[in-house]
Homo-oligomer: A and B are copies of this chain.
C-alpha cells in the first residue's frame, strides 16, 4: 500500500539524525513496507535494519544498493550520505529516556542490572557480554492473557584480559 507520509524532521529523534534518515523513513512509509520486509530484501534482520534507519549501523555497498532498490530511492543518494566515508556516531538522545517504551528498557537495567551482572559472573567469570558482537531480536509470543514481547540480546562473552 502506498501513501503520502511525512516525518517530523525537526522533532526528536529525527532532528538528531542525518537528513537521509528522514528520507528513508518517508520512503518506507510511502511504500507501506515493514522493517521486516525491508530487511528481507537486503538479507538482514528487522532490528538491525531499523538500527540503520536510526543511524546506528553501517551498510555495506551491496546493502546500500539493495536498500535503494526496495525503497525506490536513487542509489547515489544513500551512497553519498551513508557511503564509505560515513561512520555512525551512535547514541539515543537525552538520558534517561522519557518515552515509556525506551524507559522500560532503561528500567530493566535499573531493576535487574545487578542480578544480570551477578549471573554473568557466576556462569562465565570476570568479563562482559559484548554489545558490539551482539545480535538483538524482538519477537511476538502469542499468549491468551495478552501477547508478549520477547527481547533477546545474544552477545559474545568477553573475558577481562590480564597482563
Interface size range on A against B: 35 or more
In the bound complex, residues from chain B placing their C-beta under 8 Å from that of A108 are: 105, 131, 134, 136, 153
Known: A3-B83, A51-B115. A11 touches B89 (CB 8 A): yes
Interface presence of A72 (CB below 8 A): no
Q: What is the total number of copies of this protein in its complex?
A: 10
Known: A116-B151, A146-B157. A8 touches B3 (CB 8 A): no
Q: How far is the CB of A50 from chain B (nearest CB, A)?
A: 4
How far, in whole Å, are A130 and B133 apart by their CA atoms in the complex?
Answer: 11
Interface presence of A156 (CB below 8 A): yes
Task: Specify which of A12, A117, A126 lies most central, judged by the most chain B CB atoms within 10 Å of its CB.
Answer: A117
Which of B109, B136, B154 is in CB contact (< 8 Å) with A106?
B109
Interface 0/1 of A77-100, CB less than 8 Å to B: 001110111111111100111111
